[in-house]
Structure 1
C-alpha cells in the first residue's frame, strides 16, 4: 500500500476517516488490482466504520463494478455516497446530500476547479507577454470523483461498461443529474503520481 508521506496511512485510510467524520457508518470497498494487498491492510487496520470488500471475478467496467459493489450496501433503500479511490478531499458531505435532495436529483456529482499544472501566460492584443501566472485555476469545472446517488440509481447502472457514457448522459438529458461545486477553500486533489502524494502532504501540513 502506498502511504501518504508523513502520515503512515494510505489514501483509503484518509478517505474512510473522512467518511466516518461525515456520519457514514458503513462502506463497501471495491478491490481491483492487487486486491489481496488492500484487503490485508483493511483487515489489519483499526477503522472508524464497518467495511465490506468486494472483488470482481472478471472486469465489469466502471459502471458494472459500481453496480456490483452497490449490491452489498447495507440499506439499498437509502441514498448513498461513492468516491473514486484516487481522490483526497475534505468538504461537507452532509451539505452535498442536502443539495442533492433539494434538487430531487437521481445522481449528484461533486465538481472541482483544479489548478492547471503548468504556468499560464497572458498577452495583450498585439501579442506582447504581459504576465506569467503559476498554476492558475482551470476555467472549467471537472468531475471531482465524489457522488451522491438516490436508491433508484443502482438499477440504472449497466451490468458491464461505463456509466459515465451511458447512465450519466441519460440522466443529464432528463435533468436528473446535478452538479455540486465544491465550497470555496475546500481541499481537493487527484492522486495520480508519487509527486501528487508529496504535494498533497505538504499542502495539508500547511493548513
Structure 2
C-alpha cells in the first residue's frame, strides 16, 4: 500500500522557524515532524509518495530513497496551487492502487487511529473537540459514514473535527476542486464531491496535534511528554 504525504508548503505561520528549512523538518522533541509522521505509518504501507516544494532538497536529503524501511518517491509541486493540485500531481503513482493513505506533513497522530483508518477503502480520520467552530466539522449518517463536511460552522452539528488523514481510492481523481481560494485548489472541495457518490467511513482518532505556529512546538512537546490534554492544543487544519 502507498501513502501520500503533503510536504510542499512554506509554512509561513511558523516563521522564523521555516525561514531556513521546510516545515516538515521543524523539530519536536529533537526529531523532525516528518520523522514523527513516518513512525506512525502502518506496516502495510511500503512506499510513500512525498509532495515537495519549498526547500525540497532538504527533505530529499533527509529522507533519501528509503526511510525507516519504506521506499520514498518524490513529486514536485513547483507552484503553490493548493492541496487538490498536489494530489492530482500524484495520480500516475496512485491510479493502479486499490487504495492509498493521505496525510499532511505538519500533524502529529497516534498509530491506532491511522491503523484503523487503512482497514477501510474509504475513510476519514476525525478527532473529538470541545469547540469545533474553528475546524472542518463532520456530520455522520446513522451507519457511521460521512453525511457532509461543514467548514468552520458557527453552529456546528457535531464535535468531530477533520484531521486531514484519509484512506482513498483512485476514484478521487474523477472529481475536481471547482472553487479556488487565493488561486489555490483545495482538497476539501474534491472530498465533498467524492462523498456525494462514495460512502466514506468516519474513524475517530486516538491522538491529534497540528503544528501551525511556533508556540505549538512547545505545546506539542508538553503533550507528547504527557503534560497536557491533546484536546486543548490542537489547531485548525491548515493549507500551508
Per the normalisation by structure 2, the TM-score is 0.62
Cα distance, 1:46 vs structure 2: 4.9
Between structure 1 and structure 2, the one with the greater Rg is: 1
- Which residue is 2:37 aligned to? 15
Aligned residue pair count: 172
Structure 2, unpaired ranges of 5+ = 1-24, 132-157, 179-183, 228-240
> Paired residue for 1:43?
64
Contact 2:172/2:191 (8 A) holds in 1:
no
Distance 1:16 1:174 in 2: 31
Shift of residue 64, structure 1, vs aligned partner: 1.4
**Contact 1:17 1:48 (8 Å CA) reproduced:** no
Rate the CA distance shift 1:172–1:46 in 2: closer, same or farther, 3 A: closer
Once residues 34 and 48 of structure 1 are traced to their aligned partners in structure 2, the CA distance between those partners, rounded to angstroms, is 24
Per-residue deviation, 1:145 = 1.0
Pairwise CA distance, 1:44: 9.1
| Cα drift, residue 187 of structure 1 | 1.6
CA distance in 2, matches of 1:169, 1:59: 21
Question: CA-to-partner distance for each residue in 1:113-149, whole Å, 9 max, x for gaps?
Answer: 2465xxxxxxxxxxxxxxxxxxxxxx62111111100
Q: Which runs of 5+ in 1 are unaligned?
A: 102-106, 117-138
* TM superposition shift of 1:198: 1.7
2:68 aligned counterpart, secondary structure: coil
* Residues 16 and 48 in structure 1, CA contact (< 8 A), matched pair in contact too: no
Identify the structure with bigger relative contact order (alpha carbons < 8 Å, sequence gap 6+). 1
Matches within 5 A, 1:97-176: 97-98=118-119, 100-101=120-121, 107-114=122-129, 140-158=159-177, 161-165=185-189, 167-174=190-197, 176=199
Instruction: Please list the CA deviations of residues 57-82 of structure 1 after superposition, one character each: whole Å capped at 9, or x if unmatched.
Output: 33332111112124224x73321001
Cα root mean square deviation, aligned: 2.8
